[in-house]
């Protein structure tokens, strides 16, 4: 969830590479055995179970499957080079700005207004909010020096290539006011594919920033403020259903009763 420009390879990449290396070594060890044993088994005659299996499928088919297996392990299963963090300062703008919109997720008007709002917010509160959108190009670790990110900084990274649009690089001082659960909920609410599809990448970015600014202004939040639309609809439906159930249950069943309860 938290984007770290200086991060290198992840544990799953090393684990995948190790597994593939083990499988490749085992395959190399079995190839001489298959080459030496398979022809001899073919000469045993039809009385052997192995000869029956090979004769059933055909010698050429067995060799074809062996070639496919070798290709799968050495080519398809070859681990991809790990993604290393790097500096790409030529993608940084020449002028000072709090937004680097490489993915063009924002309109020029939105970018201009947001630049003014975040600059003013930093002046008033001391909290530094920055926005980076990227797709196939990224400045990498160069943004840290460009923006002077510190413990009182939050960098929102919008990258549509992942399953969730939003990622955050959060300074240590920010966690005192906004815990890690807040950032997980913020990412889940505004960065999920359904929200982005219905509202657009720009609305996802702006909504997340509004929540961050609101919580930092009021001294912190444990949860993201506001009620999600899905939860609002669910609450409305349950309220209506609950009212109908209570109405039918309270309907008088005897003459003279106001409510279907004893004593009334």
Q: What is the CATH number of the domain that holds 209?
A: 3.10.310.50
Report the distance separating Cα 183 and Cα 223, nearest Å: 9
Residue found under tokens 């609809």: 233
| pLDDT at 237 (0 to 100) | 77
- The answer on 94 and 71 residing in a single domain is no
Report the distance separating Cα 155 and Cα 190, nearest Å: 16
pTM of the shown model: 0.59
Bridge-based pairing state of the strands 153-158 and 166-170:
antiparallel
Tokens standing for 125?
Answer: 């509160």
Answer with the one of 52, 76, 100 that is the final residue of a domain. Answer: 76
Answer with the one of 217, 242, 259 that is the final residue of a domain. Answer: 217
| pLDDT at 235 (0 to 100) | 56
Contacts of 192 by beta carbon, 8 Å cutoff, 6+ apart = 164, 165
Tokens standing for 5?
Answer: 């420009």
- The answer on 68 and 115 residing in a single domain is no
Contacts of 73 by beta carbon, 8 Å cutoff, 6+ apart = 20, 23, 24, 27
- The answer on 71 and 185 residing in a single domain is no
CB 200 within 8 A of CB 190: no
pLDDT by position in tens, the chain (length 264): 444 443 333 333 334 444 444 445 545 454 444 445 444 444 444 444 444 444 444 555 656 666 655 554 444 444 434 334 467 889 999 999 999 999 999 999 999 999 999 999 999 999 999 999 998 888 988 999 999 999 999 999 999 988 899 999 999 999 999 999 999 999 999 999 999 999 999 999 999 999 999 999 999 999 999 865 555 465 557 768 776 776 666 566 666 666 555 554
- The residues that bridge with 169 in the sheet, in sequence order, are 155
Report the distance separating Cα 103 and Cα 108, nearest Å: 12
CB atoms within 10 A of CB 237: 10
Residue 228 within any structural domain of the chain: no
Residue 51 within any structural domain of the chain: yes
Tokens standing for 25?
Answer: 């070594």
- The answer on 193 and 106 residing in a single domain is yes
Domain assignment of residue 56, given as a range? 11-76
- The answer on 71 and 148 residing in a single domain is no
Residue 153 within any structural domain of the chain: yes
DSSP state of 7: -
- The answer on 182 and 71 residing in a single domain is no
Q: What is the domain count for the chain?
A: 2
Report the distance separating Cα 200 and Cα 160, nearest Å: 11
> HSE-up of 45 (CA within 13 Å, CB side)?
1
Contacts of 40 by beta carbon, 8 Å cutoff, 6+ apart = none
């Amino acid at each position: 969830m938290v984007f770290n420009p200086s991060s290198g390879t992840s544990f799953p990449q090393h684990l995948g590479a190790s597994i593939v290396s083990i499988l490749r070594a085992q395959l190399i060890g079995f190839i001489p055995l298959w080459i030496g044993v398979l022809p001899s088994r073919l000469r045993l005659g039809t009385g052997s179970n192995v000869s029956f299996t090979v004769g059933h499928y055909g010698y050429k088919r067995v060799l074809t499957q062996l070639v496919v297996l070798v290709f799968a392990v050495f080519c398809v299963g070859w681990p991809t080079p790990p993604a290393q963090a790097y500096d790409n300062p030529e993608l940084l703008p020449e002028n000072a700005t709090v937004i680097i919109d490489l993915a063009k997720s924002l309109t020029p008007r939105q970018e201009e207004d947001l630049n003014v709002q975040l600059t003013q917010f930093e002046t008033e509160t001391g909290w530094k909010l920055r926005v980076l959108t990227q797709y196939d190009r990224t400045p990498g670790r160069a943004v840290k020096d460009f923006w002077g990110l510190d413990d009182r900084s939050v960098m929102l990274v919008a990258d549509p290539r992942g399953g969730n649009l939003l990622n955050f690089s959060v300074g240590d001082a920010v966690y005192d006011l906004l815990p890690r659960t807040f950032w997980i909920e913020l990412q889940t609410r505004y960065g999920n594919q359904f929200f982005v599809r219905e509202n657009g990448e720009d609305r996802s970015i702006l909504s997340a920033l509004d929540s961050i600014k609101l919580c930092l202004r009021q001294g912190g939040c444990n949860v993201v403020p506001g009620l999600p639309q899905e939860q609002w609809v669910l609450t409305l439906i349950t309220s209506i259903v609950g009212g109908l159930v209570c109405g039918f249950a309270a309907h008088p069943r005897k003459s003279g009763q106001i409510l279907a309860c004893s004593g009334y």
